[in-house]
Amino acid sequence: MEQEHKRRVRYKGTHPRSYQEKYKELDPEKYRADVDKIIRSGKTPAGMHIPIMVDEILEFLQIQPGQTGYDATLGYGGHTRKMLECLQGQGHLYATDVDPVESEKTRARLEAQGYGADILTIRRLNFADVDQVAPGEKFDFVLADLGVSSMQIDNPERGFTFKYNGPLDLRLDPTSGVTAAQRLRELDQEELAALLVENSDEPYAERIAGAVMGVFKRGGTIETTKQLASAVETALSFLPPAERREAVKKSCQRTFQALRIDVNSEFEALYAFLEKLPDVLKSGGRTAVLTFHSGEDRMVKKAFRQFYRAGIYREISEDVIRPSAEECFQNPRAHSTKMRWAIRA
């Protein structure tokens, strides 16, 4: 029996709203011209991640052919590919990621570009275990981009954004641990308020925690991204209409960020990474870290200064390095980026 031909869902307009409808953006190799047009307009194509501060990173790392390096946060592989280009087929690059879905896609993409196991080793590992990436190996350069990849943010099924309705998950590794929805049910009001302050400096933390617990007390549930966003909106209903919309947007961003950090134990992982980092760097080895909010930046700054004063790092960045205005226009997600670096003694 001849199989009935099914037409592809029509590409609705120049920028479709539904994630599933964005098949051109989700297949950038096939629809390169369309994807380039979207990037030039200052947007990030769905299912794709634009690497941030590439020039500044490469200028500092000074990667040479034959060196050994480590990309602590593989993601879409944008930074990885640029570092591999610098190696010119000589040396080796290790990379890790806890996301089993996206890391396999990236592995296949890089293999297709000619970067196989001879020069690239990808391991599904948290960078907190940096000492287990290549036991006995020391690196000439290490990069850690602490941002959540755009592919994770844009996919409603992952629950990283309040812009689309989806399960309130927020796990970087969707195969292990508890979801954000489960985590909310484990916390009391005081604990949730403290989490929002500690992880994202949320100014309306107590009101938001009260609104979330109010939903539970009335027998309701918060299982989806839109349900959580609705609770935040309720919490901020006291604000004047003229400023409410922007305040709700920012508080939603901070609330989701705080829960994501908690669900994935991100601060604990970063602390472990920063403590072990000097031990995996060669003498003269260089490391650069990209952070995206004040809590992360404070941790990196403190660790770098501590090891610099102890003589373990011979030089560190005194001030943060930020992306250019041009890059921020082309990639709005770069706005909050801060880069710090250190050189091993």
User: Is 275 found in the same domain as 128?
Assistant: yes
Are 145 and 272 in a shared domain?
yes
Would you state the pLDDT for residue 100?
A: 85
Question: By CB neighbour count within 10 A (0-12 exposed, 13-18 middle, 19+ buried), where does 2 fall?
Answer: exposed
Total of domains in the chain: 3
113 domain-assigned? yes
β-pair partners for 145: 290
pLDDT tens readout for residues 222-271? 999 999 999 999 999 999 999 999 999 999 999 999 999 999 999 999 99
Q: Do 64 and 110 have their domain in common?
A: yes
- pLDDT given for residue 7 in this prediction: 54
Does residue 70 lie within any of the structural domains? yes
Are 188 and 337 part of one and the same domain? no
Q: Of the candidates 263, 278, 304, which is a domain's last residue? A: 263
Residues 135 and 62 both lie in one domain: yes
Q: Is residue 163 part of a domain?
A: no
Residues 273 and 144 in one domain: yes
Contact 26, 47 (CB under 8 A): yes
Q: Which of 208, 237, 263 is the last residue of a domain?
A: 263
Residue 23's pLDDT is 45
**Residue 286 sits in the same domain as residue 330:** yes
Q: Which residues, including other chains, have CB under 8 Å from residue 200's CB and lie 6 or more apart?
A: 254, 255, 257, 258, 261, 293, 295
Do residues 338 and 52 touch, judged by C-beta distance below 8 A? no
pLDDT value at position 25? 52
Which pLDDT score is estimated for 26?
A: 54
Residue ranges of the chain with pLDDT lower than 70?
Answer: 1-49, 149-153
Domain boundary among 217, 235, 263: 263
Question: Which structural domain range is residue 182 located in?
Answer: 174-263
pTM value is 0.83
